[in-house]
Structures are given as C-alpha cells and as structure tokens.
Structure 1
Amino acid sequence: MITRRGFLRLVGGSAFAMVSLGAYAVGIEPMLLTHVKRYALTPPHWPAGLKLRVVALADIHACRPWMTPVRIAALAEQANALQPDVIVMLGDYPAGTRMVTGWVNASEWAPALSGLKAPLGVFSILGNHDWWEDRSAQSAGAGPTISRKALEAVGIPVLENDVVRLEKDGKGFWIAGLADQIALLPDRAKGREGLTGLDDLSGTLAKVGDRDPIILLAHEPDIFPKVPWRVSLTLSGHTHGGQVRLFGYSPVVPSAYGNRYAYGHV
C-alpha cells in the first residue's frame, strides 16, 4: 500500500520529470545542442562525376539568451568551415517561445546569417514559425513575411514555390524551394478552419526547365510521400530530429507520420 508521503513523492517526482523533459524539449535540445551530421549519399538520377557538398541549416529559432545573433554568427562560421559548395537554410528563423525566451528581431538574426558563404550560393526557404510569428502575414493570408524581407535584405534568396538552376564542373542541377505547408493558422473569420499551406509542389517542379537532377527544400517532411521520382533528394527540418529523443525513439514529433521522418536519412 502506498502511503500519503509516498504518493506525494511519486507525484512530485513525476512532475519534476515532466518539467525536466519539457525543459529539454523547449530549451536544451533546440537551443543549446548543435548537431553536425554528415551523410555521403548517391541520390537517384544523380549524374556520375557530380560531387556536391551541401550544408543544410534548419530551425535556427533565434531567441535570447540561447540563440543570440552572436551565436548565430558563430554557427555561420562553423558552416563555412565545412567548405560547402552550396548552403541551404530550411526555415524557422524566429523562435516560437516568447513566453519563455527573449525575442530577437529579424534585423538582428538576418545580418548574423549573412556571414554564410559558399561558391554556388546560399539559398533559403521559410518554415511555419516564419509565418506564425508574423501577425501581418497571418492577417493578410499572404507574404512577403518579415523573415523573407530580412533574408533578401542581406542578399539571401528565398525560394517559395520557386527554383534556381546551378552548375558545378559543367554539370547542372536544380534547387527547388517549397512554400510552407502549414503557413496560415486557423481563422474562421477568414474561412480558415485548420492549418493552411501555401505550398505548390507540382507548380514548383513545373518550373524546372530540363532533365537535370533536383534537390527539393521543404520545411516539413510530411511532403515526402508526395514527392515524385523526378526529385533526387529532399531536405527538411521542422522535427528537430524528434523534439525529445530517448533510446533512438522520439515520443514527441510534429509530424503526421510520427517517427517515420523524424530524423536522419530516410
């Protein structure tokens, strides 16, 4: 039989565990841990002899005191040190945790990212928080968002349902960027009953003008089952590798597919 004191200890311990788990998910994992994961891939339809080093940055979530402009600038230097041919950023530049973190304006985090350099360029897409934290864009149901304007102001192109063709060693390839799949929050007054996406996968790929391979950038990985064979590689963020990862499993994943697309090369 459990005593009253034992019960209170059990409840207290459980509460502490939940708070600790929440702190890890909201603070430590996304803000304090920097993950550099390397993959050596041979994507489908990839030309023989085209060796390409891509650095992908996802979910910066600028905030104080953890992801400050100074730290973002340091991350940019680390990315450059990897000597990429091209750098892609996968969205979510502002944090969505105003209740527990200090806000960092786009006029601060964007210049910190402007230090990113690669021979073939730096390209970006937007994530859900680039929309959700922008009241004007939510009200209008359209962009350009604050994040987009800030990135473009420092010379970083933003691909929203758009493509760009690049070339290395005489061989061409495309980078296609998808608009966010859950950009607009529910708003019954505007006829939005649920989360609304602005992505147009078929329209985006229709802009590809030849048979060269395609690298698709999409913030949320839930698009994966819809991506046609024509795309050689899709890069996504959003899941943070599983908000909490215990023994290789993530009990909290912001995806309709759970752990299927939570982390790594799938």
Structure 2
Amino acid sequence: MKIDLSGKLAIVSGSTAGIGLGISKALAEAGATVVVVGRDTAKVEQAMASIRQRVPAAQLRGVTADLGTVQGAEKLFVAEPRADILVNNLGIFNTVDFFDAPDSEWTRFYEVNVISGVRLSRHYTPDMVKQGWGRVIFLSSESGVATPADMINYGVTKSANLAVSHGLAKRLAGTGVTVNAILPGPTFTNGLEDMLKDATAESGRSARDEADAFVRKARPTSIIQRVADVEEVANLVAYIASPLSSATTGAALRVDGGVVDSLAI
C-alpha cells in the first residue's frame, strides 16, 4: 500500500508545532503540496525548515494568520483560495477547574477549537464538491468522548468537533468529499511538555518519562500505558487524507492508545 498525494494541495491549520507539524511532514512526504499556517511568521518559517529537513523536496507554502479570528481566516482565504485536503488541527488546551473558568475562557476555546474549523470547512468544501474529490479532517480528542474533570471546556469543544464532522459528512453525501474526525490520546508534544513542566521539575524525571507517568495516572485505561508519538497520529491522518480511504467518512477514528474503554468510537 502506497499513500500518494502527488498533485494534492493540503492546508493544515495550527501546523507550526506538535501534531499539526507532524501531519504536515507526513503529507509532504506523501507528495502533497502543504500550506503551513500559524500566527507567527518566524514559527511558520521554522516549521517549513523542519519539514524540509525530513522531506528535502517538499512543496511548501506558508501563511501567517490567526485562524481563531474572522480576519485571520479571510487572510488565509485570500492567500490560498482552494484546497484538496483540509486538516482542521488548530486547537488549544489547558487544565482548569470548572469553577475557575469564566465565560471568556469558554468562548476563547470554542472560537479556536470549533469555529475555526467550521469557517475553513465552509469555505473550502464547495470547491471540493465541484471537483468531485476532497478530504476534510477534524482533529478531535479522546477527551471528546471521555471528558476529563480538569479539562471540561476543552472536552466540550472536542465533542463539538465530532458533531460537526459527522454532520458535515452527511451533508456532503455522494459528492466524493469525505469528512472524518481523528481522536488522539495524550501525545508527546511541546504543549504537553509545557503542561507537565512543574511536575517534571519536581520529579526529576525526563519529560518523556513524566509524560508516560501522566498517562498511567490520569488516563489509567490506556492500553499502551504511554504517550503516543506525533508520527503515530500523523500516519493515520495521512491515510485518511489519501484516495485509499474513499469508503471512510463520517467516522471518528481513535489513535488514543486505548484510553477510551469502549467497543465503539
């Protein structure tokens, strides 16, 4: 089986670091032209340099835009009016007690984690429908089906990602455009390292060992009993972005290490 995305244009939101950067590398490696999008020009350029280290012949374009805002989305639409593959990866997370999260924090999470993907999907899918082919992928989370007590606002937005992706898949039935959601579990990214930095300093463990310990403590149902690597998530996204996945749509695909203890989803 060979994943070949030659001739396809992929836009990956929030792609300057973490899972988004890993996805961009995987898509570039499969031959897609990848649009890297982030809020900081220097970070966009650094991300493209990182991709080229792995894929020297990568076809890349960069856009600096805050996709959590209407203005940022419009800036992207002007720079890149169409796409064959849209990966709605942009997202923020933190740990906060339910009673300490004000309305403004709920609104901020919803705008970035949910509405950004809605805006991009609304813009890019009509052209996909016209050409009879396209891939829309939402990065949800295992937290969308097993909401953590200390990340309720985050979990709610990830549940919303599932609802949007499933509904949009039905809306685009028969068009050749598939829409799916990917549900990563805890994944070893800079964001997770930052979240655990105090615990890492206190324990004296390496960042990776601390992350694995976090999984065993905070996500005890994990079957792999460790964090996932970014590449493990990106590999699934690359397959779903490819022509090989044409019979998969409206799905919620887990790469959570078995955290969700269920026979379904």
Report 1 or 2 for greater relative contact order, CA contacts < 8 Å, sequence distance ≥ 6. Answer: 2
TM-score of the pair, normalised by structure 1:
0.37
User: How does the TM-score come out when normalised to structure 2?
Assistant: 0.37
Larger radius of gyration: 1
